[in-house]
Chain A
Amino acid sequence: ELKVEQNPLFLSMQEGKNYTIYCDYSTTSDRLYWYRQDPGKSLESLFVLLSNGAVKQEGRLMASLDTKARLSTLHITAAVHDLSATYFCAVSYGGSQGNLIFGKGTKLSVKP
Chain B
Amino acid sequence: EAQVTQNPRYLITVTGKKLTVTCSQNMNHEYMSWYRQDPGLGLRQIYYSMNVEVTDKGDVPEGYKVSRKEKRNFPLILESPSPNQTSLYFCASSPSFGGRVYEQYFGPGTRLTVT
Contacts and interface: CB of A to CB of B under 8 A. Distances in A.
Q: Do A and B bind each other?
A: yes
A98 B50 contact: yes
Nearest to A42: B106
Given A98-B56, A101-B45, A102-B42, A48 B103 contact: yes
Main secondary structure of the interface of A (DSSP, over half): strand
Interface of B: 31, 33, 35, 40-45, 48-50, 56, 58-59, 90, 92, 96, 99-109
Interface residues of A, number: 21
Given A98-B56, A100-B33, A42 B90 contact: yes
Contact of A42 (B56, B58, B59, B107): B107
A92 to B, nearest CB: 6
Given A98-B56, A100-B58, 13 more contacts: A33-B103, A45-B103, A45-B105, A88-B43, A92-B101, A98-B33, A98-B48, A98-B96, A98-B101, A99-B48, A99-B56, A100-B101, A102-B35
Contacts of A96: 50, 56, 99
Given A104-B40, A104-B41, A97 B99 contact: yes
A30 to B, nearest CB: 9
B58 A99 contact: yes
A69 interface: no
A98 B31 contact: yes
A104 B90 contact: no
Nearest to B4: A42
